[in-house]
Amino acid sequence: MIWPFKPNKRKQIARIEITGAIASETRKRVLKALKTVEDEKYPALLLRIDSPGGTVGDSQEIYHALKQIRSQGVKVIASFGNISASGGVYIGVGADHIVANPGTITGSIGVILRGNNLERLLDKIGVSFKTVKSGPYKDILAFDRESTPEEMQILQDLIDTSYQQFVMTVAEGRNLDAEVVRSFADGRVFTGQQALELGLVDRLGTEEEARCWLAEWAELDPDKAKVVTIEEKKPLLTRLLSGQTNRPKSRIGTSLDWVEFELATAGQALWLYRP
């Protein structure tokens, strides 16, 4: 029997794409892809990020998984696309190096938690809620009333703690002093060119240029090293029925997608840039 040829993954570059808002589904997909990179012993990983950010915990888990895979000798370069902000930055600093386009929108290092107060609207239409709770703060950020000063302080402490984690992670990942990071980690966004000047990225360039740099660094031939995108494949019937046989997954970008994201993450602290 002639066994089929099995490609040598040690001479290939793995590629993982992170697009759209980062939430639990993104985390599950990326962690599974990173496990594949580990199991199949790829020597290098190209991480393509085009994301405005997302939930805190999911971004942190992807970041720690990247650190883990780097500790096993896998070389990782992140390539920032159109936008890589907030949680996208948090994940990106988990790579060894970062490449951004000059016009990439990045930054927005900070934390936001939003609630809605519909009390006046509910009064107008004659709707009220009766709440039974086990403690004074169980309905914190309830949309049918104004938050109390005590509740606002609790939420501010939560945001401040999460922000401190963000700053320290960027400082560690980019080998910067924490005070230097705080000087530009005030929620502002900046271009890839500005990010280079701040020390947030290492080089300006396209994804292809990032790939060539990674290949050379991993001692692979840039002209011959194959790039394998690690992605979860849907069953053929599912792809045919959805009309996506030859079409990539859609990104979170439409109004409906954002509504679904807001509902799914209601009450969670977010590392998210919203233009």
Catalytic residue ranges = 86, 138
- Beta-bridge mates of residue 46: 15, 77
Ramachandran category for residue 232: left, alpha or beta (phi over 0 → left; psi -120 to 50 → alpha): beta
SS3 content of the chain, % helix, strand, coil (to 5): 40, 20, 40
Is 62 exposed, middle or buried (CB count within 10 Å of its CB: 0-12, 13-18, 19+)?
buried
Exposure on the CB side of residue 262, measured as CA atoms within 13 A: 11
User: Residue 144 and residue 147: Cα distance in Å, rounded?
Assistant: 9
Where does the chain show beta strands of DSSP type E? 12-19, 44-51, 53-55, 75-85, 97-100, 105-107, 189-191, 203-204, 226-229, 270-272
Q: Which of 6, 29, 12, 182 is nearest to 91 (CA)?
A: 29
